[in-house]
Each structure stands twice: as structure tokens, then as C-alpha cells.
Structure 1
Amino acid sequence: MRFLPGLLLVLPLLSPLAHAELFDDVFDRGELRIALEADTPPFNFKEGDKLTGFEVELGELLAREMDVRASFITTDDSDLLPGVESGKYDVAINHIAVTPELRDRFDFSTPYSYSSARLIAHKQPKRLLSNLDTLKGSQFAAKPSEGVDLRSRGDSKATLTLAIPFQKGNPAFKSSLDKALERIKADGRLTALSEKWFEADTSKPTK
């Protein structure tokens, strides 16, 4: 079969694999769309009409490092992760712990915080992690950490590895996001932010 020269140029665009990467979409827009719930102090919440909190400031820092603006969209847990999965939002920064189940659905940034289930429960009276079933059903479900397997028992001292989920298949975006996160870790800004909101450095795993 012979193809006209012009048709040869069009065929790659018709391939299902020829899609714009999230990296290109974000930088073409000049905007990082960040979904959060805005009701979980000190992670993210509203003071009057103003969004604030650890993860709001983190999102602003990351967007600045990526040379785009941060656009925060307030939503609820029924829409948060499905919205990221569908491309409605670029990322969710909402104290989401990495789990094997979520890794099947999303790619993740490198971790930005290591928080205990006890800390999250204390800071969120509406979402007390009172038992393993509650923990498994929440976005804060813990990644099994060394010496603690939450698949078999609940433990309020367990470490939750918090990271930023985004659509799978976006290596250039992951690289850009991870490099931005690494820069704010390396110069101490992430530690300072953590100490401001938690009075502790949660940017490193507890020993």
C-alpha cells in the first residue's frame, strides 16, 4: 500500500499513543491545577475566604519552582482522586498516603512528608482513625512501614508516607515535579514549612 507524503505526516497524530504529556499541558497552560479538600488543618483549610495550611504553601512553592502558577481547586473526597485520574486536576495535594492500591491507579512524586496516623487523627477531629477499617477506607491509609504491617493491625504510631498523585504515564511531569520538590528540600524550605505548621520536621522519615 502506498501513502501520500502528506498522509504520512498525519498518521502519527492518529496513533492512540500520540498524546500530549501532562508536562506539556501544565506548561502550555502556565498553571498547575491542585485539588484539595480545604477542611483539614493544619494540612489545608480556609481562614475566612483564604486558603492556607502546610499543603497550600507547599503547592505554591512547587508551582513556583516549576515556573507556573498554582491554581487550587477545593473539592471533596468523592471527586478528589477520580478528578486526578480523569485529568480534571493535575495533582492532589491532600495528605494522601502511598498504598499499593493507589500505586496501581496513579504515579506519585517522591514523598514530601512522613506523618503518623496519630498526628493525622489528632489534627482531624471529623476523621478520627479509630480502627484499621477506618484507616483502610481513608485517603490516609498507610503504606506498610518497617516493623509495622497495617494490613494485619492498626497502629497509631505507624508512619504514613505522604506523596502527590498524578495520572500514570507522565515521566517528564514526574521528573519536573520531583526536581522541584528536591530543590525545596535541599535548601531547607520544606523543613522550615514543616516546622512552621507541625512544630517538627516531617520531611524526613522518623527513625
Structure 2
Amino acid sequence: MRILSGLMLLLPLTSPFAQAELIDDVNDRGELRIALEADQPPFSFRQDGHLTGFDVELGELLAKELEVNASIIVTDGSDLLSGVESGKYDVAINHVAMTPELQNRFDFSAPYGYTRTPLQAGPVVMLAIPFQKGNPAFQTSLDNALQRTRVDGRLAALSQKWLGMDATKP
């Protein structure tokens, strides 16, 4: 009987629902690990030895809204999304298009920007922030942070500063 009761105590630990939420990890660390490439102006690039651009400032803004530090990690395209998928990074803020293929692999924030495909008058593409699937509390926190920046105009101002237009609306 003792073994059975001991096993019953361990059962919740093996449940997929016992998985720690990403927002708890971010809060425990006190930082949001943000992956991006640093060679794509005006989104992210080095200027006078400092990392800057739309994606960099968006990441810093969202981390501040989440009340944690932004830890910007420069990586290359081959590691960007696989690093998010494996948990090496919390998010990728790298003007990622929310495609059906990527939605099978990741959960996404609400869209923060819109663009058109390079074709003349092509379809509108939504830009959003991918993170590991199965983190609804993180998604809510991230979406709320984005919404606050949208409502008070900081997101539109950031878009105007770096992109020369308000790309926050379709």
C-alpha cells in the first residue's frame, strides 16, 4: 500500500500538465531571452558597435512591460527558430511571418506588424513573436504587453521611427 501511495504522489510530476510555464521561468530568471539576427537593417543591426533596430527596441520594450530584463542574443538563421523550439531562447523577435507551417511548430503572440509580400500588391503577412508551444500564461502576458504598447502609441512610434510608416495595422 505504501508503494501505491508513493506512486500516486509522483503521478502529477509525470503529467504533461505539470510542465513549468515559460512565464514562470522568465520571471524566475528575471530576463527574457530574445534571439535575433544582427544583420538585417532596419530590424536589427550593429551601429557604432551597438546593437540597434526595430526588433531590438521591440524586445527591450516588451521585456520592460513584463518587468524583466531583456537578454538579446545574436544568432544566425539556422539557430534562431530551432533555439526557440528547444528552449535555448524564450522568443525570436526577428520579423517572423506567422505562417501555417510555423504555427504547427510554435505558438505566437498577437501580430505586432504587417507587411506585404515582395510581389506587387501581394497578400498581407502578419509579423508575430514565436515561442514554445503550450505556454498559455506566457502568451497572455506577452499579448497584454503588446496591447499596452499598441494602445499608448509606443508600438506605432517604434514602427514610424525604424520603418518610416505605421506598420502596426494591416
- State the alpha-carbon separation in 2 of the partners of residues 157 and 39 from structure 1: 27
1:73-88 superposed matches below 5 A: 73-88=73-88
- Point out 4+ residue stretches in structure 1 off by more than 6 angstroms: none
- Which residue is equivalent to 1:71? 71
Structure 1: any 5+ residue segments left out of the alignment?
A: 119-154
Distance apart, 1:167 and its partner CA = 0.5
- State the alpha-carbon separation in 2 of the partners of residues 156 and 82 from structure 1: 32
Distance apart, 1:116 and its partner CA = 2.5
Structure 2: any 5+ residue segments left out of the alignment?
A: none
Deviations 1:164-194 (A, max 9, x none): 0000000000000000000000000011111
Report the structure, 1 or 2, having the larger helix content.
2
Identity of aligned residues (%): 67
- State the alpha-carbon separation in 2 of the partners of residues 91 and 25 from structure 1: 13
Distance apart, 1:18 and its partner CA = 1.6
- Which residue is equivalent to 2:151? 186
Structure 1 range deviating more: 6-15 or 166-175: 6-15
Distance apart, 1:16 and its partner CA = 4.2
Structure 1 range deviating more: 88-97 or 17-26: 17-26
Give the TM-score, by structure 1 length. 0.77
Determine which of 132, 136, 139 is the counterpart of 1:171.
136
Tell me the secondary structure at the aligned position of residue 88 of structure 2: coil
Tell me the secondary structure at the aligned position of residue 167 of structure 2: coil
- State the alpha-carbon separation in 2 of the partners of residues 23 and 83 from structure 1: 17
RMSD across aligned C-alpha pairs, in angstroms? 1.6
Tell me the secondary structure at the aligned position of residue 46 of structure 1: strand
- State the alpha-carbon separation in 1 of the partners of residues 164 and 9 from structure 2: 57
Deviations 1:80-119 (A, max 9, x none): 000001111000000110111000000000001112234x
Distance apart, 1:11 and its partner CA = 3.2
Distance apart, 1:53 and its partner CA = 0.3
Are residue 198 (structure 1) and residue 166 (structure 2) matched? no
Q: Which amino acid aligns with 1:41?
A: P
- Which residue is equivalent to 2:59? 59
